[in-house]
Amino acid sequence: MLKDIATGALITSLIFVVSAYIPIVGFFGALFIPLPTLYYRSKLGRTSGAIIPVASFVLMLVTMGKFSLDVLVLAELLAVGFVLGELIEVNFSIEKTFLCVCGSILIIGAAGLLIFSSTSPKGIYAIISQYVAQNLEITLALYQNMGMSEENIRVISSYLDKIQYVLVRIIPALVVSSTLFITWTSLLLVKPFLKRRQLFFPDYGRLSLWKASELLVWGAIGCGLMLLFPDNGIKMIGLNGLIILMTIYFFQGIAIVSYYFEKKHFPRILRFFLYALIALQQMLIFLIIGLGFFDVWLNFRKLGIQKK
Protein backbone atom coordinates (compact mmCIF):
# COMPACT_ATOMS: atom_id res chain seq x y z
CA MET A 1 0.00 0.00 0.00
CA LEU A 2 2.84 2.43 0.83
CA LYS A 3 4.31 1.70 -2.60
CA ASP A 4 0.99 2.57 -4.26
CA ILE A 5 0.72 5.81 -2.28
CA ALA A 6 4.28 6.83 -3.17
CA THR A 7 3.76 5.92 -6.82
CA GLY A 8 0.48 7.84 -7.04
CA ALA A 9 1.93 10.98 -5.42
CA LEU A 10 5.04 10.84 -7.63
CA ILE A 11 3.07 10.40 -10.86
CA THR A 12 0.70 13.23 -9.92
CA SER A 13 3.60 15.56 -9.07
CA LEU A 14 5.39 14.80 -12.34
CA ILE A 15 2.24 15.49 -14.38
CA PHE A 16 1.76 18.78 -12.54
CA VAL A 17 5.36 19.85 -13.20
CA VAL A 18 4.91 19.10 -16.91
CA SER A 19 1.58 20.96 -16.94
CA ALA A 20 2.98 24.00 -15.14
CA TYR A 21 6.26 24.45 -16.97
CA ILE A 22 5.88 23.08 -20.50
CA PRO A 23 3.67 25.23 -22.78
CA ILE A 24 1.00 23.58 -24.98
CA VAL A 25 1.91 20.09 -23.73
CA GLY A 26 1.08 21.34 -20.25
CA PHE A 27 -2.50 22.14 -21.24
CA PHE A 28 -3.15 18.55 -22.25
CA GLY A 29 -1.10 17.24 -19.33
CA ALA A 30 -3.48 18.89 -16.86
CA LEU A 31 -6.21 16.53 -18.07
CA PHE A 32 -4.30 13.62 -16.54
CA ILE A 33 -3.74 15.10 -13.06
CA PRO A 34 -6.98 13.68 -11.55
CA LEU A 35 -6.33 10.15 -12.85
CA PRO A 36 -3.84 8.82 -10.25
CA THR A 37 -6.03 10.11 -7.41
CA LEU A 38 -9.15 8.61 -9.01
CA TYR A 39 -7.51 5.26 -9.71
CA TYR A 40 -5.90 4.83 -6.28
CA ARG A 41 -9.04 6.05 -4.51
CA SER A 42 -10.89 3.18 -6.19
CA LYS A 43 -8.08 0.70 -5.48
CA LEU A 44 -7.09 1.65 -1.91
CA GLY A 45 -10.31 3.01 -0.48
CA ARG A 46 -11.18 6.40 1.02
CA THR A 47 -8.63 6.75 3.83
CA SER A 48 -5.53 5.46 2.06
CA GLY A 49 -6.61 6.96 -1.25
CA ALA A 50 -6.91 10.41 0.33
CA ILE A 51 -3.21 10.39 1.25
CA ILE A 52 -2.18 10.66 -2.41
CA PRO A 53 -3.84 14.03 -3.23
CA VAL A 54 -2.80 15.44 0.15
CA ALA A 55 0.83 14.31 -0.31
CA SER A 56 0.87 15.63 -3.90
CA PHE A 57 -0.51 18.98 -2.80
CA VAL A 58 2.03 19.34 0.05
CA LEU A 59 4.89 18.30 -2.24
CA MET A 60 3.98 20.90 -4.84
CA LEU A 61 3.47 23.54 -2.17
CA VAL A 62 6.97 22.89 -0.84
CA THR A 63 8.44 22.77 -4.36
CA MET A 64 6.92 26.09 -5.43
CA GLY A 65 7.71 27.71 -2.08
CA LYS A 66 4.38 29.44 -1.63
CA PHE A 67 0.65 29.08 -2.03
CA SER A 68 -0.32 30.42 -5.46
CA LEU A 69 -3.24 30.22 -7.85
CA ASP A 70 -1.39 27.51 -9.77
CA VAL A 71 -1.28 25.40 -6.60
CA LEU A 72 -5.00 26.14 -6.08
CA VAL A 73 -5.69 24.83 -9.60
CA LEU A 74 -3.74 21.67 -8.67
CA ALA A 75 -5.88 21.29 -5.54
CA GLU A 76 -9.05 21.53 -7.64
CA LEU A 77 -7.80 18.94 -10.13
CA LEU A 78 -6.88 16.59 -7.30
CA ALA A 79 -10.34 17.16 -5.84
CA VAL A 80 -11.90 16.18 -9.19
CA GLY A 81 -10.16 12.81 -8.97
CA PHE A 82 -11.08 12.16 -5.35
CA VAL A 83 -14.71 13.32 -5.64
CA LEU A 84 -15.12 11.20 -8.77
CA GLY A 85 -13.81 8.19 -6.84
CA GLU A 86 -16.41 8.83 -4.13
CA LEU A 87 -19.23 9.21 -6.66
CA ILE A 88 -18.23 6.09 -8.58
CA GLU A 89 -18.51 4.13 -5.35
CA VAL A 90 -22.05 5.39 -4.60
CA ASN A 91 -23.04 4.63 -8.22
CA PHE A 92 -24.66 7.96 -9.09
CA SER A 93 -26.12 8.63 -12.53
CA ILE A 94 -23.88 10.39 -15.05
CA GLU A 95 -25.82 13.66 -14.63
CA LYS A 96 -25.62 13.61 -10.82
CA THR A 97 -21.93 12.74 -11.02
CA PHE A 98 -21.13 15.77 -13.18
CA LEU A 99 -23.32 18.06 -11.06
CA CYS A 100 -21.71 16.97 -7.78
CA VAL A 101 -18.17 17.31 -9.13
CA CYS A 102 -18.86 20.83 -10.43
CA GLY A 103 -20.49 21.87 -7.15
CA SER A 104 -17.55 20.52 -5.15
CA ILE A 105 -14.97 22.29 -7.33
CA LEU A 106 -16.80 25.63 -7.13
CA ILE A 107 -16.92 25.37 -3.33
CA ILE A 108 -13.24 24.37 -3.09
CA GLY A 109 -12.23 27.13 -5.52
CA ALA A 110 -14.18 29.80 -3.63
CA ALA A 111 -12.73 28.65 -0.28
CA GLY A 112 -9.22 28.57 -1.74
CA LEU A 113 -9.58 32.10 -3.13
CA LEU A 114 -10.78 33.37 0.26
CA ILE A 115 -7.80 31.76 2.00
CA PHE A 116 -5.37 33.07 -0.63
CA SER A 117 -6.79 36.61 -0.50
CA SER A 118 -6.52 36.61 3.31
CA THR A 119 -2.74 36.18 2.97
CA SER A 120 -2.45 38.96 0.37
CA PRO A 121 -3.04 42.72 0.60
CA LYS A 122 -4.96 42.50 -2.68
CA GLY A 123 -8.62 41.62 -3.05
CA ILE A 124 -9.96 38.59 -4.90
CA TYR A 125 -10.72 40.56 -8.07
CA ALA A 126 -7.21 42.05 -8.19
CA ILE A 127 -5.62 38.63 -7.62
CA ILE A 128 -7.60 37.00 -10.43
CA SER A 129 -7.04 39.97 -12.76
CA GLN A 130 -3.28 39.86 -12.20
CA TYR A 131 -3.21 36.08 -12.73
CA VAL A 132 -5.09 36.40 -16.03
CA ALA A 133 -2.80 39.25 -17.17
CA GLN A 134 0.33 37.19 -16.42
CA ASN A 135 -0.99 34.21 -18.36
CA LEU A 136 -1.92 36.42 -21.32
CA GLU A 137 1.62 37.79 -21.39
CA ILE A 138 3.02 34.24 -21.29
CA THR A 139 0.70 33.26 -24.15
CA LEU A 140 1.78 36.29 -26.19
CA ALA A 141 5.46 35.44 -25.62
CA LEU A 142 4.73 31.88 -26.72
CA TYR A 143 3.17 33.16 -29.95
CA GLN A 144 6.30 35.23 -30.58
CA ASN A 145 8.55 32.22 -30.03
CA MET A 146 6.39 30.19 -32.43
CA GLY A 147 7.13 32.72 -35.18
CA MET A 148 3.86 34.64 -35.34
CA SER A 149 4.19 37.80 -37.42
CA GLU A 150 4.92 41.10 -35.68
CA GLU A 151 1.76 42.60 -37.14
CA ASN A 152 -0.43 39.92 -35.54
CA ILE A 153 1.47 40.29 -32.26
CA ARG A 154 0.76 44.04 -32.27
CA VAL A 155 -2.92 43.45 -33.00
CA ILE A 156 -3.24 40.95 -30.13
CA SER A 157 -1.28 43.28 -27.82
CA SER A 158 -3.66 46.14 -28.55
CA TYR A 159 -6.60 44.00 -27.45
CA LEU A 160 -5.01 42.46 -24.35
CA ASP A 161 -6.86 44.78 -21.95
CA LYS A 162 -10.22 43.92 -23.51
CA ILE A 163 -9.40 40.21 -23.54
CA GLN A 164 -8.40 40.40 -19.89
CA TYR A 165 -11.63 42.27 -19.04
CA VAL A 166 -13.76 39.51 -20.57
CA LEU A 167 -11.71 36.57 -19.25
CA VAL A 168 -11.85 37.80 -15.65
CA ARG A 169 -15.64 38.05 -15.85
CA ILE A 170 -16.18 34.62 -17.39
CA ILE A 171 -14.02 32.80 -14.83
CA PRO A 172 -17.10 31.04 -13.32
CA ALA A 173 -18.09 29.63 -16.71
CA LEU A 174 -14.51 28.64 -17.53
CA VAL A 175 -14.20 26.80 -14.19
CA VAL A 176 -17.49 24.93 -14.70
CA SER A 177 -16.80 24.12 -18.36
CA SER A 178 -13.24 22.94 -17.71
CA THR A 179 -14.47 20.84 -14.76
CA LEU A 180 -17.13 19.23 -16.95
CA PHE A 181 -14.55 18.48 -19.64
CA ILE A 182 -11.95 17.11 -17.22
CA THR A 183 -14.60 14.97 -15.49
CA TRP A 184 -15.66 13.59 -18.87
CA THR A 185 -12.10 12.78 -19.99
CA SER A 186 -11.23 11.31 -16.56
CA LEU A 187 -14.15 8.88 -16.71
CA LEU A 188 -13.27 7.84 -20.25
CA LEU A 189 -9.58 7.33 -19.45
CA VAL A 190 -9.95 5.58 -16.09
CA LYS A 191 -12.65 3.11 -17.15
CA PRO A 192 -10.33 0.60 -18.93
CA PHE A 193 -7.87 0.69 -15.99
CA LEU A 194 -10.58 -0.08 -13.44
CA LYS A 195 -12.17 -2.75 -15.62
CA ARG A 196 -8.83 -4.42 -16.31
CA ARG A 197 -8.08 -4.65 -12.59
CA GLN A 198 -11.63 -5.79 -11.80
CA LEU A 199 -12.43 -2.63 -9.83
CA PHE A 200 -15.97 -1.25 -9.78
CA PHE A 201 -17.05 1.17 -12.50
CA PRO A 202 -20.71 2.26 -12.79
CA ASP A 203 -22.85 1.24 -15.72
CA TYR A 204 -23.76 4.62 -17.17
CA GLY A 205 -25.43 2.96 -20.13
CA ARG A 206 -24.58 3.74 -23.74
CA LEU A 207 -23.21 7.28 -23.55
CA SER A 208 -23.60 7.51 -27.33
CA LEU A 209 -27.36 7.69 -26.64
CA TRP A 210 -27.06 10.45 -24.02
CA LYS A 211 -28.88 13.72 -24.55
CA ALA A 212 -29.40 16.81 -22.42
CA SER A 213 -32.78 17.90 -21.14
CA GLU A 214 -34.77 19.67 -23.84
CA LEU A 215 -35.54 22.48 -21.37
CA LEU A 216 -31.89 23.60 -21.54
CA VAL A 217 -32.47 24.96 -25.04
CA TRP A 218 -34.59 27.75 -23.55
CA GLY A 219 -31.74 28.59 -21.20
CA ALA A 220 -29.38 28.83 -24.19
CA ILE A 221 -31.83 31.05 -26.08
CA GLY A 222 -32.31 33.24 -23.00
CA CYS A 223 -28.55 33.59 -22.48
CA GLY A 224 -28.16 34.51 -26.15
CA LEU A 225 -30.80 37.23 -25.83
CA MET A 226 -29.01 38.62 -22.75
CA LEU A 227 -26.02 39.38 -24.98
CA LEU A 228 -28.18 41.94 -26.79
CA PHE A 229 -28.70 44.02 -23.62
CA PRO A 230 -26.67 47.24 -23.41
CA ASP A 231 -25.67 46.61 -19.77
CA ASN A 232 -22.28 44.86 -19.56
CA GLY A 233 -23.22 43.05 -16.35
CA ILE A 234 -26.22 41.38 -18.02
CA LYS A 235 -24.08 40.55 -21.06
CA MET A 236 -21.48 38.83 -18.89
CA ILE A 237 -24.16 36.76 -17.10
CA GLY A 238 -25.52 35.69 -20.46
CA LEU A 239 -22.04 34.88 -21.78
CA ASN A 240 -21.23 32.76 -18.70
CA GLY A 241 -24.45 30.81 -19.10
CA LEU A 242 -23.92 30.36 -22.82
CA ILE A 243 -20.39 28.97 -22.37
CA ILE A 244 -21.60 26.38 -19.84
CA LEU A 245 -24.56 25.33 -21.97
CA MET A 246 -22.45 25.11 -25.13
CA THR A 247 -20.12 22.75 -23.24
CA ILE A 248 -23.11 20.54 -22.43
CA TYR A 249 -24.22 20.60 -26.07
CA PHE A 250 -20.66 19.69 -27.09
CA PHE A 251 -21.04 16.48 -25.06
CA GLN A 252 -24.36 15.79 -26.78
CA GLY A 253 -22.73 16.43 -30.17
CA ILE A 254 -19.89 14.05 -29.34
CA ALA A 255 -22.48 11.44 -28.32
CA ILE A 256 -24.05 11.80 -31.78
CA VAL A 257 -20.66 11.40 -33.49
CA SER A 258 -19.88 8.36 -31.30
CA TYR A 259 -23.29 6.85 -32.15
CA TYR A 260 -22.56 6.97 -35.88
CA PHE A 261 -18.99 5.75 -35.41
CA GLU A 262 -20.47 2.68 -33.69
CA LYS A 263 -23.27 2.31 -36.22
CA LYS A 264 -20.89 2.44 -39.20
CA HIS A 265 -18.30 0.24 -37.40
CA PHE A 266 -15.43 2.70 -37.77
CA PRO A 267 -12.06 1.11 -36.86
CA ARG A 268 -10.69 2.16 -33.47
CA ILE A 269 -7.60 3.84 -34.97
CA LEU A 270 -9.78 5.90 -37.33
CA ARG A 271 -12.03 6.96 -34.44
CA PHE A 272 -8.97 8.07 -32.46
CA PHE A 273 -7.71 10.12 -35.41
CA LEU A 274 -11.10 11.81 -35.94
CA TYR A 275 -11.53 12.59 -32.23
CA ALA A 276 -8.02 14.10 -32.20
CA LEU A 277 -8.91 16.15 -35.27
CA ILE A 278 -12.04 17.46 -33.50
CA ALA A 279 -9.96 18.41 -30.45
CA LEU A 280 -7.45 20.36 -32.55
CA GLN A 281 -9.78 22.07 -35.03
CA GLN A 282 -11.80 24.95 -33.59
CA MET A 283 -14.34 24.94 -36.42
CA LEU A 284 -15.05 21.25 -35.86
CA ILE A 285 -15.69 21.94 -32.17
CA PHE A 286 -18.32 24.54 -33.11
CA LEU A 287 -19.80 22.07 -35.59
CA ILE A 288 -20.09 19.44 -32.81
CA ILE A 289 -21.77 22.01 -30.52
CA GLY A 290 -24.21 22.80 -33.34
CA LEU A 291 -24.99 19.09 -33.74
CA GLY A 292 -25.81 18.83 -30.05
CA PHE A 293 -27.91 21.99 -30.00
CA PHE A 294 -30.01 21.26 -33.09
CA ASP A 295 -30.45 17.63 -32.06
CA VAL A 296 -33.27 18.95 -29.85
CA TRP A 297 -35.36 19.48 -32.99
CA LEU A 298 -33.76 17.23 -35.62
CA ASN A 299 -33.17 14.11 -33.45
CA PHE A 300 -30.18 12.93 -35.51
CA ARG A 301 -30.10 9.50 -33.84
CA LYS A 302 -33.88 9.01 -34.19
CA LEU A 303 -34.14 8.27 -30.47
CA GLY A 304 -37.60 7.26 -29.28
CA ILE A 305 -38.81 6.55 -32.83
CA GLN A 306 -40.24 3.06 -33.21
CA LYS A 307 -39.10 1.14 -36.27
CA LYS A 308 -41.92 -0.55 -38.18
Please state, in angstroms and rounded to a whole number, the distance separating the CA atoms of residues 42 and 191: 11
CA-based nearest residue to 285, from 242, 257, 252, 250: 250
pLDDT above 90: percentage of residues in the chain: 40
Instruction: Note the pLDDT tens digit of each residue in 45-93.
Output: 888 889 999 988 888 888 877 778 888 888 899 999 999 999 998 888 8
| Among 141, 166, 198, residue at a domain's last position | 198
Residue 224: CB atoms within 10 A of its CB come to 14
User: What would the mean pLDDT of 127-146 be, rounded to a whole number?
Assistant: 84
Residues 33 and 84 in one domain: yes
**Structural domains of the chain, count:** 2
Residues 213 and 153 in one domain: no
161: three-class secondary structure by DSSP? helix
pTM: 0.89
**5-14, 36-45, 297-306: which is most confident:** 36-45
Please state, in angstroms and rounded to a whole number, the distance separating the CA atoms of residues 56 and 171: 25
DSSP conformation letters of 193-222: HHHHTT--------GGG----TTHHHHHHH
Residues 37 and 62 in one domain: yes
Residues 149 and 23 in one domain: yes
Instruction: Note the pLDDT tens digit of each residue in 160-194.
Output: 888 899 999 999 999 999 999 999 999 988 999 89
Q: What is the pLDDT of residue 24?
A: 62
Q: What is the pLDDT of residue 134?
A: 86
Residues 241 and 111 in one domain: no
Residues 239 and 190 in one domain: no
> What is the chain's mean pLDDT, rounded?
88
Residue 191: CB atoms within 10 A of its CB come to 14
| Among 173, 198, 223, residue at a domain's last position | 198
DSSP conformation letters of 88-138: HHHT--HHHHHHHHHHHHHHHHHHHHHHHHHTSSS-HHHHHHHHHHHHHHH
Q: What is the pLDDT of residue 308?
A: 46
Residues 188 and 255 in one domain: no
Higher local confidence (pLDDT), 101 or 69: 101
pLDDT above 70: percentage of residues in the chain: 97
Residues 61 and 112 in one domain: yes
pLDDT tier at 23 (50, 70, 90 boundaries)?
low
- For residue 32, give the DSSP letter: G
Residues 180 and 249 in one domain: no
Instruction: Note the pLDDT tens digit of each residue in 256-284.
Output: 999 999 999 899 899 989 888 888 888 89
Residues 120 and 217 in one domain: no
171: containing domain: 1-198
| Among 198, 215, 233, residue at a domain's last position | 198
Please state, in angstroms and rounded to a whole number, the distance separating the CA atoms of residues 240 and 231: 15
Residues 171 and 243 in one domain: no
Residue 23 to residues 112, 123, 142, Cα–Cα distance (Å): 25, 28, 8
